[in-house]
A and B are shown apart, each in its own frame.
Chain A
Amino acid sequence: MSIQEYFRPQSIEEATRLLADQAQGSLILAGGTLAMPLINDGISMPEMVLGLKDSGLNYIKDQDKYLVIGATATLSQMASQTKISMLSEAALAVGGWAIRNMATVGGNFFAPPPGGDFTAALLALDAEITFVSSQGERTIAVKDFFTGFLTNSMAPGEIIKEVRVPFPEGKTAFTKYGRRHANTPSIVAIAANLGYQSEKVSKARIALNAVGPYPLRAVMTEDYLLGKSLTEQVIQEAGEIAAGECSPFTDAIASEWYRRKMVPVILGRTLEQIGD
């Protein structure tokens, strides 16, 4: 059956009300860069669609320690904002200019692997994500968003309202490695956010994308880095641990073998950016 109904709520309240009522089960469309290709190919044939672009979720607000970003803010807006540099670098890692003008911050959470480069940056920045539904709002840490391959902890009727990103105290670096310089899927993308006290790592957040069922935190690598300074030896050891704690896969772009080989290399280059 082809599409029967398209909802275009003009506010968050109207969106959540619709989703609790006649728009229940609708496909949520923000930028369209993930859903439309499947619709164009006839793989996905939604009967009800709810478009979010007019629901007032495109904002970037500076709230003292947080940068609050609405779910339909585009990756181009992320690329051009200068408040948190890693968000700009991570946005530029996704697609080309035209795609970034359409793709949204909220949408990137649903990009199947090896997609999700921008979400990895949010993960490394300890961002929080706020859902909203007719029952009200709910906020969790981005690291608790994913529950498995293409599954997450959102409840029915909920949509992503915004992400709240604490301004990083420490140093950050983002590296995306693909077969091309730009506009290409990731072999591995790494976001690092390290806090320092007298040359020693006091806080470590390392997020890896494209080497698991979803963007994941390299918690063992983070623990290892605590209390250490980024010597060549430490970076090398961190790379081995990270390669061990991720679960790379094979696709048309790269094999599992090669992705696992690249984790220490790209983590090394990312940490070196932070070191110097």
Chain B
Amino acid sequence: MSERTLNVVGKSVPRRDGMGHVTGKTVFVNDIRFPDMLYLKMVRSSVPHAKILNVDFSAAEKVPGYVRALTHEDVPKNIYTILTLIGVGPDEEYVLAEDKVRYIGEPIAAVLAETEEAAMEAAAQVRLELEELPAVFDVEEALKPGAPILKEWGTNYFVYEGHHCRRVRFGDVEQGFNEADFIVEDRYQTSPIEHAPSETTGCIAKPEADGRITIFSNTQALFFTLDNAAIILQVPFQKLHLVGGTVGGGFGGKVDVIVEPISALAAMKTNRPVKYVFSRQEEMQASSSRGAWRMYFKDGVTKDGRIVARKITTYADAGAYNRHTPYAVTKHAANIAGPYRIPNVWIDAHCVYTNKQPGSAMRGFGVTPASFALEMQMDKIAKVVGMDPWEIRFLNAYRDGDMKPHQKVVEDATLIEVMQAAAQLVGHDLPENLMQMKSGNGKEA
């Protein structure tokens, strides 16, 4: 494909969906309705950790408009598989809670009714008998002996091929510390954050005449949702048909396959369309959030500002269940050392369970917390060494051809070029030697 002048790539052509948006004609999932449609409302745990002794629907059944309820007994395979499909296991989250609840908001039973109001009233009338268990909320407390255990396999951490964490070992970090003139350490902590898209997560499952189920969903990943839902429902894949693609903001919050399986099950059981859309309060408190991350840095730095060793221990707060956090920790481990050439790197990145709403994917997926910690750490190094924060970064920036700590050769590097351009943009004069530096042999388009 010769590099001829481009006709339309590189042009700011107007958005294809722009007209629909500004006229209100774009159809979002929540805008869809079908005759005989039922509304699903979830009965959720009000406590962070408890045994479920009893779930009593007798009062709920009397609410006018109540149709039926679903519990874990109704779910053919009551276990989430979102990671087994991409080679990561075990899966340990229940579609509907069985004997225990592990976070405030965990779904226990689904109530179906003729109207949204009836479904809400019925769900509120379901009597839960819960026996509270001790709960743990801090990632490091959760790993201490004697901490309440969340998982059947007896620990509060995800096992990475036999290890209690994802590991990166590159060079000899202790040797690096010996060479260093300064040791620079600090602790960085981020907070759980809600995706808060304008449109809340939701879907409508509609039984079709030929026995298939069409699921209108604002998921970010249609086939991923189809495959997982089919496994949970134990139906052949061709039974499900996912339709979507217009999402009112995702930010990673609509990849958990949470509303589709139970809605499809409800549609199959009632042979009626079923709508399940999160309230804003559910989106805020019960849906997955960006997990919180705690990162401990220990760097060895020479007098002339070269980082010769970087040792990092990370604790990702997965909340009560895996969702996507085990993979976020792997991606974190591949990026937490930063866009810098460091000969000796040692990383232990833990995926830890606590009695909180599950952490999952959010924009930046494990790298956002890493960048926060990294770039505050670089400023601390500059202060300790007595160097300008720009210069310390230019000096250590990786170049094309370098080997990253996870043993991948650096390619397409331009850290130096963006720093040069940013300095120019804000009128920050850089010394000539820094302005002359290059990341590699990349050429501007």
Contact = CB atoms under 8 A, between A and B. Distances in A.
Interface string B108-137: 000000000110110110000000000000
Contacts of B64: 2
B436 interface: no
Contacts of B124: 42
Contacts of A42: 117, 120-121, 123-124
B12 interface: no
Contacts of B123: 42
A184 to B, nearest CB: 15
A219 to B, nearest CB: 38
Contacts of A251: none
B58 interface: no
B120 to A, nearest CB: 3
Interface in A217-235: none
Interface range on chain A (Cβ under 8 Å from partner):
under 10
A6 to B, nearest CB: 15
Interface in A1-33: 2
B297 to A, nearest CB: 28
Contacts of A41: 120, 279, 281
A45 interface: yes
B292 to A, nearest CB: 16
A2 B279 contact: no
Secondary structure of the B side of the interface?
A: helix
Contacts of A2: 64, 117-118, 121
B301 to A, nearest CB: 37
Contacts of B281: 41
Contacts of A45: 121
B109 to A, nearest CB: 16
A180 to B, nearest CB: 15
A42 B126 CA distance: 14
Contacts of B118: 2
A249 B344 CA distance: 49
Interface centre among A41, A42, A45 (most CB of B within 10 A): A42
Interface in B166-208: none
A45 B124 CA distance: 11
Nearest to A43: B124
A227 to B, nearest CB: 49
Nearest to B279: A41
A44 to B, nearest CB: 11
B436 to A, nearest CB: 45
Nearest to B120: A42
Interface string A141-152: 000000000000
Interface in B268-287: 279, 281
Interface string A31-49: 0000000000110010000
B42 to A, nearest CB: 12
A41 B116 CA distance: 10
Contacts of B279: 41
B281 to A, nearest CB: 7
A45 B64 CA distance: 14
A2 B122 CA distance: 11
A200 B121 CA distance: 60
A2 B116 CA distance: 12
Interface string B121-159: 101100000000000000000000000000000000000
Contacts of B117: 2, 42
B126 to A, nearest CB: 13
A41 B120 CA distance: 8
A2 B114 CA distance: 14
A158 to B, nearest CB: 30
Contacts of B120: 41-42
B105 to A, nearest CB: 14
A140 to B, nearest CB: 37
A83 B125 CA distance: 50
Nearest to B122: A42
Interface in A35-67: 41-42, 45
A67 to B, nearest CB: 38
A41 B118 CA distance: 12
Contacts of B121: 2, 42, 45
B243 to A, nearest CB: 28
A33 to B, nearest CB: 16
A193 B118 CA distance: 50
A257 B279 CA distance: 32
B80 to A, nearest CB: 27
A41 B279 CA distance: 8
Nearest to B119: A42
Nearest to A2: B117
Interface in B237-282: 279, 281
A2 B63 CA distance: 10
Nearest to A3: B117
A41 B121 CA distance: 10
Nearest to A45: B121
Nearest to B117: A2
A45 B121 CA distance: 8
A42 B44 CA distance: 14
A7 B281 CA distance: 30
A41 B282 CA distance: 11
13 contacts: A2-B64, A2-B117, A2-B118, A2-B121, A41-B120, A41-B279, A41-B281, A42-B117, A42-B120, A42-B121, A42-B123, A42-B124, A45-B121
Given A42-B120, A45-B121, 7 more contacts: A2-B64, A2-B117, A2-B118, A2-B121, A41-B120, A41-B279, A42-B121
Interface of A: 2, 41-42, 45
7 A-B pairs with the lowest CB-CB distances in the bound complex, closest first: A42-B120, A2-B117, A42-B124, A42-B121, A45-B121, A41-B281, A41-B279
